[in-house]
Amino acid sequence: MKYIIILLTVISIQFIAVDKASAEYDIRNSIVKIYTQMVSPYYSDPWTMDSAEFHTGSGCIIKGNRILTNAHVVANSTHIQLRKYGEAKRHTAKVLYVSHEADLAVLTVDDPAFFENTKPIMLGPLPNTQEEVLVYGFPKGGDTLSITKGVISRIEHEVYAQSNLPFLAAQIDAPINPGNSGGPAINNNKIVGIIMQTLLKSESIGYMVPPPVIKHFLDDIENGKYNGFPSIGVRTQNIENEGLKSKYKMSNADTGVLVTGIVAGSPAEGVLQKKDVILKVDGRSVSGNSTIEFRPKERTHYSYLIQNKQVGENIGMEILRNGKKKNITIQLDTPIQDIQLVRIQNDILPSYYIYGGLVFSTLTINYLKDWGNQWYRKAPSELISVAKSNTKTKKDEEVVLLIRVLASNVNLGYHENENLIIKKVNNREISNLEELVSIVENSNDDFITFEDANGKELVIDRSKAGTTNPALLKTYRINSDRSDNLRQTSN
């Protein structure tokens, strides 16, 4: 990533603009300030929680007595309150649905009085570039509603800071600040975006979730369940070099991308093959730089067409296999979060296991974020590399980490080891943390040997680990040697 992206909530520029279309109804009555108490897990010590933090964000009322905002505004929340524009009273709210992938959330308030004298704001169309919008929200610098004017400067795929996943996003030059998160961008009295993030140390460069992504989320939850956004689960390479085109028997008129890998357990498995060339997706030609034309003269990544589908729907493709064109259909039955090797994890506690003072957990985006906004530069390079490739070789695969060592005599010599990717236990390959625990718990060997991706071994005397573990946990004030989800992984 070239730039530093930050989310726009605040712990604790007012420009006034007038929307001429608001004569009949003052749209400000549908804007709310969100107050959130958050307690997040501390991923480097996964048995502990960070201290409670107070954040604020913004949101807007939509149909069905619901409030639309960002996922990161309410992630790991323990208490949420809302305050309407121009009022002093706060109302307790609850989360109905969250998409951490697309950084969207829907809330509600049980008290029907909260929605009196308000009207839902409807979702509008995807705005055009150079179109002006009004951004409503409660940024830092004051407590009252702020309305700023900006211009849509570009629309294309960008990495969402909340999930580290690329989705369609709209760039906007309106002055936005921490606290604007979750506030709507309005055009013709309709929502044309939800403000989500900005570039650190930039001159008014912010991003909003655009209507196609919002609509997908709202359509998804209509049945009372959030399924997510589908992915076919492939790695592809641009085909812009003439030699590469010739090797795969592409004509001069053909454009497309080369399939270089297929994620285990993904919809593409068994349908696409390595070295296939994807020529068209959903009837649209894929260029050699992986883009499609989604509007005249506007291009974005071809995954846009896949992400517009709901989980369970089909998508058609034209491919070139061994020089012959072929039409295929892929059922998009797996959400993107289920095929990611390294994923975002919120609103649940991290998994961990402690044995002989060695602390094991799984690699998540949350863990990497312990290195701050620039984690993709500051985190260990091996972990960053895995997160970038993000490809499963087995359906139930996780990246198992030795995150740290709780120093004691039983692990003498290993005290400085941290962030090791564990591949084997007692010479048996593992796919996930549960398998590691199972091998350890069911072993009768005198020694337990953990081997990392580079062949490094950490050997623990099983009898000593068993006798010292209770005292070690007491010394470090840890209540349990494992997370609740791993308590059944034993004899």
Q: For 255-296, how does the pLDDT look when each residue is reduced to its tens digit (9 = 90+)? A: 999 999 999 889 999 999 999 999 999 999 999 999 999 999
Question: Model confidence over 380-423: pLDDT tens digits?
Answer: 999 999 988 877 888 889 999 999 999 999 999 999 999 999 99
Would you say 328 and 276 are in contact if contact means Cβ atoms under 8 Å apart?
no
Provide the b/e sequence for 186-206 (b: ≥16 CB within 10 Å): bbebbbbbbbbbbbeeeeebb
What is the C-alpha to C-alpha distance for residues 472 and 100, in angstroms, rounded to an integer? 36
Is 216 a residue of the active site?
no
Query: Left if phi > 0, otherwise alpha if psi is -120 to 50, otherwise beta: which for 159?
Result: beta
Is 370 a residue of the active site?
no
| pTM of model > 0.85 | yes
Beta bridge mates, 79: 37
What is the C-alpha to C-alpha distance for residues 22 and 44, in angstroms, rounded to an integer? 49
Which pLDDT score, from 0 to 100, does residue 7 have? 59
What is the C-alpha to C-alpha distance for residues 448 and 105, in angstroms, rounded to an integer? 44
Of the candidates 489, 173, 187, 227, the one whose C-alpha atom is nearest the C-alpha of residue 355 is 489
Q: Three-state DSSP class for 229?
A: coil
Query: How many Cα atoms are found within 13 Å in the side-chain-facing hemisphere of 64?
Result: 11
What are the start-end ranges of the H helices in 166-277? Answer: 211-220, 242-247
What is the C-alpha to C-alpha distance for residues 178 and 174, in angstroms, rounded to an integer? 13
Provide the b/e sequence for 23-59 (b: ≥16 CB within 10 Å): eeeebebbbbbbbbebebbebbbbbeeeeeeebbbbb
Q: Which domains are seen in the chain, by residue range?
A: 5-220 (2.40.10.120), 234-334 (2.30.42.10), 341-486 (3.20.190.20)
Q: Which two tokens stand for residue 107?
A: 């809330």
What is the C-alpha to C-alpha distance for residues 35 and 354, in angstroms, rounded to an integer? 36
What is the C-alpha to C-alpha distance for residues 7 and 225, in angstroms, rounded to an integer? 26
Q: Three-state DSSP class for 213?
A: helix
What is the C-alpha to C-alpha distance for residues 290 and 277, in angstroms, rounded to an integer? 11
What is the C-alpha to C-alpha distance for residues 269 and 339, in angstroms, rounded to an integer? 11
Q: Count CB-CB contacts under 10 A for residue 153.
A: 14
Which pLDDT score, from 0 to 100, does residue 147 have? 94
Would you say 180 and 214 are in contact if contact means Cβ atoms under 8 Å apart?
no
Catalytic residue among 55, 72, 157, 301: 72
Which residue reads 């709310």 in tokens?
A: 32
User: Going residue by residue through the chain (491 aa), what tens digit of pLDDT does each one get?
Assistant: 444 454 555 444 333 344 444 457 899 999 999 999 999 888 989 999 888 899 999 999 999 999 999 999 999 999 999 999 999 999 999 999 999 999 999 999 999 999 999 999 999 999 999 999 999 999 987 889 999 999 999 999 999 999 989 999 999 998 788 889 999 999 999 999 999 998 766 667 899 999 999 999 999 999 999 999 999 999 999 999 999 999 999 999 999 999 999 998 899 999 999 999 999 999 999 999 999 999 999 999 999 999 999 999 999 999 999 999 999 999 999 999 888 899 888 888 899 999 999 999 999 999 998 898 788 889 999 999 998 887 788 888 999 999 999 999 999 999 999 999 999 999 999 999 999 999 999 999 999 999 999 999 999 999 999 888 899 999 999 999 999 999 875 54
Is 30 a residue of the active site?
no
Catalytic residue among 103, 276, 338, 481: 103
Of the candidates 307, 56, 63, 14, the one whose C-alpha atom is nearest the C-alpha of residue 163 is 307
CA torsion, points 78, 83, 84, 86, in degrees to nearest 10?
-170
Would you say 407 and 421 are in contact if contact means Cβ atoms under 8 Å apart?
no
Catalytic residue among 99, 146, 163, 181: 181
- Residues sharing a CB contact under 8 Å with residue 182, sequence separation 6 or more, in sequence order: 34, 57, 58, 59, 68, 69, 70, 73, 105, 137, 194, 195, 196
Would you say 459 and 443 are in contact if contact means Cβ atoms under 8 Å apart?
no
Integer angstrom CA distances of residue 77 from 54, 131, 221, 309: 9, 35, 21, 30
Integer angstrom CA distances of residue 469 from 420, 478, 482: 21, 11, 12
Which residue reads 């004017």 in tokens?
A: 149
What is the C-alpha to C-alpha distance for residues 170 and 117, in angstroms, rounded to an integer? 31
What is the C-alpha to C-alpha distance for residues 399 and 4, in angstroms, rounded to an integer? 25
Question: Model confidence over 16-31: pLDDT tens digits?
Answer: 344 444 457 899 999 9
What is the C-alpha to C-alpha distance for residues 139 and 9, in angstroms, rounded to an integer? 8
Which pLDDT score, from 0 to 100, does residue 392 have? 83
Q: Three-state DSSP class for 377?
A: helix
Of the candidates 137, 211, 141, the one whose C-alpha atom is nearest the C-alpha of residue 174 is 137
Provide the b/e sequence for 101-135 (b: ≥16 CB within 10 Å): bbbbbbbbbeeeebbeebebbebbebbeeeeebbb
